[in-house]
Amino acid sequence: MKPFLIGLIVFAIAALVVVRLLRNWGRPGEARSRLRQPRLMDGLSVPPAGTRYLQIQKISIALDVEDKRALFILLASDGTINRMGTGALENAEHGLYIGRTSTAMFEKVRSFLNDTLLEHMGSYDLKDKQGAQCRLNIGLQFADGTENGFLFLYGADSMGPPTPIADLVKEAIRATDSWYENFKRTAAKAKG
């Protein structure tokens, strides 16, 4: 009697597997596309591989040296721009300038990001800190409203963030420099 019951169970399992296979037989492409495009809880589909960085809508960069703000830059896809400081160790500029510019500035800075780099978002406390204590925080806001980014703690006279991060910060400074200098001149003329 036991071999008969075991055989019956094995047959039932095999029949269920065959039925499931036959049910998907005519639409294998549809089943594969569901696997390639997972869905998020809120119903938004995940961006295709290699395009997550294109979902970035805001980039903020804040550099503190010995707990004093040395640099702050915010760029948004709508042209919003904020800038304070130069990033120098002895930053004497503490005025925050807020305005609007072309979206090209944002696009240029965002081009220094890619999906491979985004896979490494997180906090990094770099060892063997020498010199002034630095804290670099890069915040990213995505189109779906989520936020993430990078945080680096390091010494000014020791190894800092990796080259792609340093290049991103340098480009943000370079891209916003002329706007920043013009805004400071305009503000100084308005005061005087």
The confidence score (pLDDT) of residue 142 equals 95
Tens digit of each residue's pLDDT, the chain (192 residues): 555 545 545 454 544 444 443 444 444 443 333 333 333 344 444 455 567 889 999 999 999 999 999 999 999 999 999 999 988 877 677 789 999 998 999 999 999 999 999 999 999 998 889 999 999 999 999 999 999 999 999 999 998 999 999 999 999 999 999 999 998 888 777 876
Instruction: Assess whether 75 and 118 both reside in one domain.
Output: yes
CATH number of the domain where residue 133 is located: 3.30.1560.10
For residue 74, give its domain range: 52-191
Q: Are 40 and 146 in contact (CB under 8 A)?
A: no
Residue 42 lies in a domain: no
The confidence score (pLDDT) of residue 183 equals 85
Q: What is the DSSP letter of 57?
A: E
Query: Alpha carbon of 160 to those of 42, 72, 124, 132, 192: distances in Å?
Result: 38, 18, 10, 12, 40
Instruction: Assess whether 32 and 58 both reside in one domain.
Output: no
Residue 45 lies in a domain: no
The confidence score (pLDDT) of residue 31 equals 36
